Structure 1
């Protein structure tokens, strides 16, 4: 469904350390830096990119926005959360755990990255 997601950062080194740790906890690879200084993560044909804003204005996070990363298990979501906290992220929302709603039972873990972007690791619990 998605070709790419791009988030802004005023400190791409701090963001790279954070995303290298959290995305590797989900089975991804470390990011690479392109000639424009953007940090690029590739997985299963999709791209996740961290960049300083092209217009030169300061980066800011989307109020009400969340970027969700798929986890293969609750343990993977917990590892993602722990890696994020250890790499400059901050906890937000409720602690990691199962929530039930209109999409069924989901295991969710929330963080904010060093730039303030709200993230979630999501595992769909078996019915």
Structure 2
């Protein structure tokens, strides 16, 4: 990837969650990743339309978003989008990890977003999308 810019979509129906993710990850999550361009979506339809438009490298989807949850959107993209972006879901509770597995997301982040772990997970997923690194990234509470 080496300094290649990346586009990251963050989805939540709550603006404070979108802000927390952007703040925790920052503009450059690792020296070899970024700079990042952030796209924010407040509805599931916005996510679908933006991903359909292309150019998104990673989606970070809030599993608690209303009325369309990020877990369902993740599953939908895995099934319906041929060249889909990498997907990371935000989970609020450790017992929800099985839902993240069901959604077939590439990685998970726990809420509240940990500013030390989030950049590592995002960088790992972007490297993986570029063809390097292990297959899954996740952070436990």
Fold shared per TM-score above 0.5: no
The structure number with the bigger radius of gyration is: 1
* TM-score interval (norm. to shorter): 0.3 to 0.5
Greater strand share, structure number = 1
The structure with more helix, counted as a fraction of residues: 2
